[in-house]
Amino acid sequence: MSTFKIKKGDTVKVIAGKDKDKEGKVVSVDRKNGKVLVEGVNMITKHEKPSAANQNGGIVQKEAAIDASNVMYVHKGKATRIGFKFENGKKVRFAKSTGDIID
């Protein structure tokens, strides 16, 4: 992907996979692999050894990365596509459904 339309902090909706129709906030974006980490989506069970951060270890629930193509940006409660345009000499994202500028 040349341009990444989803950024950290965006609210997104999952449009494919086992967590379809769930919404959450983007925690991190992996541009190299085209993946995003969404809060409360694609939860996995991981067995962790005891460490300085986690004294007891044990079984931990955490989010796993999901492909960026499987999420859509949520604008005013609806999933929408994102485009780019120049506004006052600056490149900005805009919601294609309404034409509103996102950032």
List the end-to-end C-alpha distance of the chain, in Å, as a whole number. Answer: 20
Mean pLDDT of all residues belonging to the chain: 93
pLDDT confidence tier of residue 2, bands split at 50, 70 and 90: low
Residues 50-68: pLDDT tens digits?
A: 999 888 989 999 999 999 9
Round to whole Å and give the CA distance between 66 and 59. 21
- 27-49 mean pLDDT: 95
Q: Is the pLDDT of residue 11 over 70?
A: yes
